[in-house]
Amino acid sequence: MVRNVKVLIIGLDGATWDIIIPFVKEGKLPTFKRLLENGSWGILKSTLPPVTVPAWPSFATGKNPAKLGVYNFIIVDNKSGKTRIVRSSDVKSRKIWDYLDFYGKKSIVINHPVTYPPEKINGTMISGMLTPPGAKDYGYPPEILGELKKLEYIIEPDPEIVKSKWDTEEFIHELIKTIRKRTDVVVHLMKTCSWDLFFVLFRATDVVQHKQFQNKRKLLKVYKEVDKSLGTIINTIPKDTLLILMSDHGFCEFKKQFNITKWLYEMRYVKLKKKDASSRSSKSSILVKIGVTQASVLRILRKLHLDWIRKYIPVSLKSKFPSSSLEVDLKESLVYPGILFTGASQYLSINREKVRDKEEYEKIRDELISKLSALKDPETGERIIEAVYKKEEVYSGPYLDKAPDIVFLLKKGYGLTTFLDLNAPVIEKISSPFGTHHIDGIFLAYGSGIKKGQRVSAKIYNITPTILHIFGLPIPNDMDGRLLMEIFEEDSEFAKRESKYVDPIHYGKKGEDKKLKKTIKNLKLKGTI
């Protein structure tokens, strides 16, 4: 076992080389330039679909979503038609920090999605995306919360600014402030806490690319701030630290949107219902009741051939109106899309409560796959779907039954819309600077023992087994990822050491032994033995 090595993982949510490398060539990102010239790097393939959840949990476990039980930000109950946000307890697998804990190694985990409520790990955990607004229990151990308050830590950018002011400079300033506050916390904890593994996620790269992907000036402002933070953090870490830089998925431009809910509705797969006005703000509730929504205003503009006006309407004004008076009825729909939380979730789920038997289920799946595969852009005549799969073709594991039934990838330039507008075209050209997720994320390894200039082709499942090998620890053989041996210099201890694979029960036994030793220690302290 290697005793002194440390591993720092910096996550840049949604980061893509398509944005980074041109800025590096222009001399605008000096830290990225240093890392690219002195590290091993390449494309990191995401999960299918390439979305924050399940991608980050898959990284932390080295496993595909069917071994975790999470496929999106929400969990749908078809019997009741209700949904809820995914929680840390929904991820049914050990994570990298759990494996390290079995060998007494400490971890600091900051802002990893789906870690609320924070787990009681050997170290420090500060929960990230999906932490409820206003939560007071987002850190472990609890005493860390006082330090975070003093440092003015921000879990997520102000949602109101992201929603209604993304076309203003205030939006960029909010993202930069979040990056700086997070960097302050990273530096503070690195200096004051003992750690072997340090993970921190910066989400600003994802947020800015969703709203401003085609606005290079605004992208550069955020990436320059990230570059500055990388430099600060790298100058803080001990010399024996290996750095892994990664994203959970990539990004691409978003020029046309596929109104998948309308498409399903026209084929009678989806049932709609009126939104519950009582659960909304009083102003929004009144607007929904009288039918004044973004969708109704757009309908009028289209009839008058004035829909071009909408690109000049300030976002702050649009956001004052509810998007639609309708929503998908999950209980009554036969099929529903995976865009209830994010337009990047390119999948379809079949409501088993509405299907008689397996034969009917397969018939529906085959129909949907055939129709998706044949779907063409009426303007170009080209198909808009890159690939479409049945769930068993991309997932395997004990939670396969919870998986979306069909997963697909749109071609670059196309995105899904969460905006429910039955009057919109099924495929519509949009005038906005938006971006959408792509499967190609980033991977970079840097430090002593890492090859310089090595190009790597990796998958998001590969990182956790590689980290275990770096620490000299056995790799559970139920992981889907491979060990990235190609990143290590031939004469390094990492390349010379043989990798060791074990049955997952090995870590279960280690856990039992650890609990027993702790119990004996407590009994000795009490004088019982």
How do residues 483-525 score in pLDDT, each as one tens digit? 999 999 999 999 999 999 999 999 987 666 666 555 555 555 5
425 or 178: which leads in pLDDT = 178
> Comparing C-alpha atoms, which of 21, 411, 459, 484 is closest to residue 247?
459
User: What is the pLDDT, as a whole number, of residue 487?
Assistant: 98
Per-residue pLDDT band for 430 (boundaries 50, 70, 90) equals confident
**Which distant-in-sequence residues (6+ apart) come within 8 Å of 74 by Cβ?**
83, 84, 85, 86, 340, 341
Q: What domains can be seen in the chain, in order of their start residue?
A: 6-249+439-502 (3.40.720.10), 254-275+324-435 (3.30.1360)
Main-chain phi, psi angles of 279, to 5 degrees:
-90, 0
Contact of 324 with 275, CB cutoff 8 Å = yes
Per-residue pLDDT band for 1 (boundaries 50, 70, 90) equals very low
CA atoms within 13 A of residue 134's CA, in its CB half-sphere: 0
User: What is the pLDDT, as a whole number, of residue 338?
Assistant: 86
Mean pLDDT of the chain, nearest integer: 90
Range 231-241 average pLDDT: 95
User: What is the pLDDT, as a whole number, of residue 297?
Assistant: 56
pLDDT digits (tens, 9 = 90+) for 73-130: 988 887 888 889 999 999 999 999 999 999 999 999 999 999 999 999 999 999 999 9
Range 392-403 average pLDDT: 97
User: Using CA atoms, how far apart are residues 496 and 116, in angstroms rounded to an integer?
Assistant: 39
Residue 7 has pLDDT above 50, yes or no: yes
Residue 37 has pLDDT above 90, yes or no: yes
What single string gives the DSSP state of each residue in 415-430? EE-----TTS-SEEE-
Average the pLDDT over each of 163-167, 244-248, 368-372 and give the range with the smallest value: 163-167
pLDDT digits (tens, 9 = 90+) for 254-299: 899 999 999 999 999 999 998 775 555 555 555 545 555 665 655 6
> Comparing C-alpha atoms, which of 262, 278, 240, 253 is closest to residue 438?
253
Residue 499 DSSP class: P
Classify the C-alpha dihedral 494-495-496-502 as positive or negative. positive
